Amino acid sequence: MTVWGAALMAAVALAAAPMSRAQTVPSVQLTAKRFLRGENTLVDGFCRIPFGFLEPVDAAGMEGAGAYRMEVVVRDAGGLVLHESDWSQTVTAEFLSLAGASTVEHFSFAVPEGSYTITVGVTDSASGRVQHASTEVTALERAAQASDLLLTGAMRRASEGGGAAAPGEIQKGALFLTANTRPVLTPRQSELHYYLELYPKERASVVLSARVLSEQGSPVTATAPEELSVGAAGGVAARTVSLGGLPEGSYRLEVSAHFPEDTVIREAAFGMRGFETETTVAEVARARAQQDPFAEMTEDRLDSLYAPLVYIMEGDERGIYPSLSIDGKRNYMSEFWSKRDPTPETPENEYRVSYYQLFEEASRRFRESGAGDVPGWRTDRGRIFLKRGEPEAVLRRPQAGPTPPYEVWKYTRPRQLKYVFLDETGLGNYALIYTDDRFETGRPDWERLLGREAVEDVLRF
């Protein structure tokens, strides 16, 4: 699954049956997973917020969209508050109107041995309604041999899709996992991934096995045992279980870790849904991608799409982007293209689409070799191509006599413009030496560089 797909599936999970707002308002769900970190326990909390709980916000620019405020409080057994945080989120109109959809909020904290209570409060910004959920957590003992079992519908290594977590992902070492309280698989996304940390007292050979249990506890399928060597510092079992063909329903994955002197069993719930769910999510994904393709992008991808905008940005848009947070960069890119949308009443921004098509074409056609190895879009020809598009007429002259190879590009719309590129190196590295475009700069000695006959050739074209 792509990073985009993984983040989307984290943000939009659908219930088994669509539910109208006239029915019972769905409840916020809270789960917690525990992992040893030295003498403390790291707790990862996951709160599923159903969009059926939210109402559209009546505010300019928020047509059909929703918003909520999330609060997290952690108390010890004596009622002392150890951790407290809050933040706000918005939900697009497309997702808010999707029956049965929900999102997952993730938070984490570390605590010493003991018992704790996690309480979350979710406030709908439109109606002011509040839902609470709480769960009890007991820190892992230092002698614990395994963490809790964490299930996800998408898992990738840091080397795949960028080294930063995408929206909806959490990081575990060199792995990124889509945050979830209870993964929901579909016929085309039928791989279940699990993450389990192992803490042997000393280096050990651990035998892993997994099996799927029905809602009633009956075995459905199982994986072959696998031997894993784990050092005294601990290790990770991150595996994938393919479950294509599994009928719709609720299930549990049970993972057994057989140590030399003991067996540890961990389990967690997941679900399987049908093609209807998959199709609905895909349709929302397409609509969202058309309206705001930057909303789920990684920072590396955002940076790569920002770079060629230098040719078309205005003065007050320069120098802002590099210092922004990833959310700020997403907002910058969305606003940049929103201002340049020739048909804002349609889902697609035609100018944005055509500009990036030109970018790909320029990168392919105008790459310059040699010591610099300059990407095609950064060359003089690539720059003019991005700003003006395909020239209406091109005069190409290979080397003949004393004049190096040169090209002349001519445009007639919106006004007549001419650009002359000269390859002084003979390696295909063309530089702009003359133009009547007042926003570009040529070379004062361009006539000498071309020679008399070539100059006449250019002027006649």
pLDDT for res 432: 96
Matching residue, tokens 């210092």:
323
pLDDT for res 286: 57
* Token representation of residue 95: 């997702």
Q: What gap in Å lies between CA 384 and CA 361, rounded to an integer?
A: 12
Domain boundaries, the chain: 3-275, 360-461
The radius of gyration computed from the CA coordinates of the chain, to the nearest angstrom, equals: 29
Per the confidence metrics, is the pTM higher than 0.75? no
Provide the 3-class DSSP secondary structure of residue 59.
coil
Based on DSSP, count helices (H) and strands (E) in the chain, helices before strands: 9, 23
Looking at the DSSP assignment, which residues form a beta bridge with residue 265?
A: 256
Q: Which range among 172-181, 235-244, 267-276, 301-310 shows the weakest confidence by mean pLDDT?
A: 267-276
Q: Which tens digit of pLDDT belongs to each residue from 201-227? A: 899 999 999 999 999 999 999 999 999
Matching residue, tokens 């933040």:
87
Provide the 3-class DSSP secondary structure of residue 203.
coil
| pLDDT exceeds cutoff 60 at 161 | no
The DSSP code for 9 is: H
Q: What gap in Å lies between CA 450 and CA 444, rounded to an integer?
A: 12
| pLDDT exceeds cutoff 70 at 191 | yes
Q: What gap in Å lies between CA 235 and CA 231, rounded to an integer?
A: 7
Residues 3-275, CATH architecture: Sandwich (2.60)
Q: What gap in Å lies between CA 385 and CA 320, rounded to an integer?
A: 25
Q: Which tens digit of pLDDT belongs to each residue from 31-43? A: 999 999 999 999 9
Nearest to 191 by CA among 253, 106, 279: 253
Mean pLDDT along residues 302-311: 92
pLDDT for res 420: 97
Q: Are the beta carbons of 410 and 391 closer than 8 angstroms?
A: yes
pLDDT for res 22: 42
Q: Which range among 58-62, 130-134, 189-193, 262-266 shows the weakest confidence by mean pLDDT?
A: 58-62
pLDDT for res 102: 83
pLDDT band at residue 327 under the 50/70/90 scheme: confident
